[in-house]
Amino acid sequence: MSKTVIIGGVAAGSSCAARLRRLKEDEEIVLVERGEYISFANCGLPYYIGGAIAERENLLLMTAERMNKRHRIDVRLRSEVTAINREEKTVTIHDRAAFKMYDERYDHLLIATGSAPVMPPLPGIGSDRVESLWTVPDADRIKKRCLEESVHRAVIVGGGFIGLELAENLREAGLDVLIVEMSDQVLPSLDREMALLLEAELRKNGVGLKLGRGVTAFEERGGALAVSLNDGTAVETDLAVVAVGIRPNGQLAKEAGLAVNERGGIVVDAHLRTSDPAIYAAGDVIEVEEPILGGRTMIPLAGPANKQGRVAAGNIAGGNEVFRGSRGTAVAKVFGLTAASVGLTEKALAQKGLAKGKDYETVTIVQNSHAGYYPGAVPLTLKLLFAADGEKIFGAQIVGADGADKRIDTIAASMYYGGTVADLAGLELAYAPPYSSAKDPVNMAGFCAGNLLDGMVKFAAWDSVETEPDSVILDVREKAEVEAFGLGRAVHIPMGQLRERLNELDPRKRTIVFCAIGVRGYNAARLLAQKGFADVAVYPGGFRFYRGTHPDSGDVGENGGIPPCFRLK
């Protein structure tokens, strides 16, 4: 009888085990998991801490008992594979419950050892007030601390997905929260201007932000924890959670002589085979194809991990299935906003040597989530990145209160099938007033990109008001709109009066046109271009986007983004 040993459960390992049983009823399948749970909702842990997920049992997607009963999988919990013996085709297993070591034979092996949170070797990081959030026991400890009367404050080190979701849920649990992030923005899967929208939302909900600062040490002081920063300051808290990133658990593969990359990720082919044809790997521990520009990448997300487990099972069963790489499609809830992204950011394109205007272009639009005349419509901001010839979509980012998830999925599907900018414009998407508009935001992004490529419009940068002080700012909104919010140096000429008042503008100067969301700005730019104005650009997303990316300095506060309760006495 053929035997498959799977190292690790959760997304990749458990999905492989279940599908392999469906494909091969007579296969002997052994799943070795060093923890207590073979499949749990890792992404649900912050929401359990905050109370949105009330029952702890709801986090446990599949128990060892159910896996054995339903699929006849030999699940061995609290057991760790300590060595892969490739010549003998065995693995050495440490049964921690029984305090014994033994070898297990395999015909095929799947390594699904996942990843682990990075805990930098900082002074004091071993304090029991310093936590990470990666497993159910981690969530149990943090949730228990939130219920203690002495815990009122939490510092989150890291502003990525886990950090932002945890910030929201710790606020829901009643704690004051401060995020300390080494970068100058939160959520690195977004470009800076899009991240600014989230930062405003975090501050609005009472989360303090200390950006561009790293942690240098933790120190117990008088019943509290002092967190020292690399600017020489320190903040005081009751609890710290480190969420600065993850690393692949590839040491086992490396010690077995399998090919790994410089980060320790396991190198696999399109069939998820390692450098040993009897051994497959899947999940956070592997590097995969980067299908947008080519090359290799590591995308530690649950969706790709589940799919990789299925592909590995199919190939172990004798199939010829292929995993086509990952574009990193992701979404996160940040209080009242949703942040979604797919593909490469502008920062990533620049790092790969691509130049804006030569190799790629971007458009940013602000559109309502559904028809504006139907109640409940809210704005969403969409940034699209695409090749300079429009034949390839490089990525997209969306931030909004409603509808961001389905739009990012639409763009991700288009990218998967090689869609172009023109394809986005031509997509036939469902429309009814409660759900969308006749011109869906995805279509609108395609229209705007097409206009840019056709030379019908140019767009200013999101920070052009600051970086282009000699430009003329033309505001074509109505008087009431300007009275509500305007720019001091702007020339105000309502769109309906522009034709008659062109003499008030200098056609030789660069003109940046503002309106509410960009529609009137485009119309004005077309008029000016046809009247001899040589250099006209539309501010993307209009004043709605400008206000989101230029929050009041009062939002940050005189203490540099640190709520008073975190100050050292």
- List active site positions: 43
Alpha helices, H only, 79-234: 136-146, 161-172, 192-204
Could you tell me if residue 84 is left (phi over 0), alpha (psi between -120 and 50 degrees) or otherwise beta?
A: beta
- Alpha-carbon span 448 to 337, nearest angstrom: 24
**Sheet of strand 100-105: strand arrangement:** 79-85, 90-95, 100-105
Alpha carbon 39 to its chain centroid, in Å, reads 22
Q: Give the residues across from 210 on adjacent strands.
A: 180
Between β-strands 239-242 and 234-237, what pairing exists: parallel, antiparallel or unpaired? unpaired
* CA distance readout (Å), 135 to 43, 78, 166, 250, 445: 10, 14, 14, 18, 39
What lies within 8 Å, CB to CB, of 133 at 6+ separation is: 45, 46, 49, 117, 139, 142, 162, 166, 241, 243
Between β-strands 153-157 and 379-387, what pairing exists: parallel, antiparallel or unpaired? unpaired
- Alpha-carbon span 249 to 111, nearest angstrom: 10
Closest CA to 135 of 50, 42, 47: 42
Task: Please count the other Cβ atoms lying within 10 Å of the Cβ belonging to residue 376.
Answer: 11
Place of tokens 């710790």: 170
Residue by residue, DSSP assigns 400-455 as: ESSSHHHHHHHHHHHHHTT--HHHHHH------TTT--SS-HHHHHHHHHHHHHTT
Q: Are 547 and 485 in contact (CB under 8 A)?
A: yes
Q: Which amino acid is at 569?
A: K
Q: Which amino acid is at 135?
A: T
Q: Are 78 and 201 in contact (CB under 8 A)?
A: no
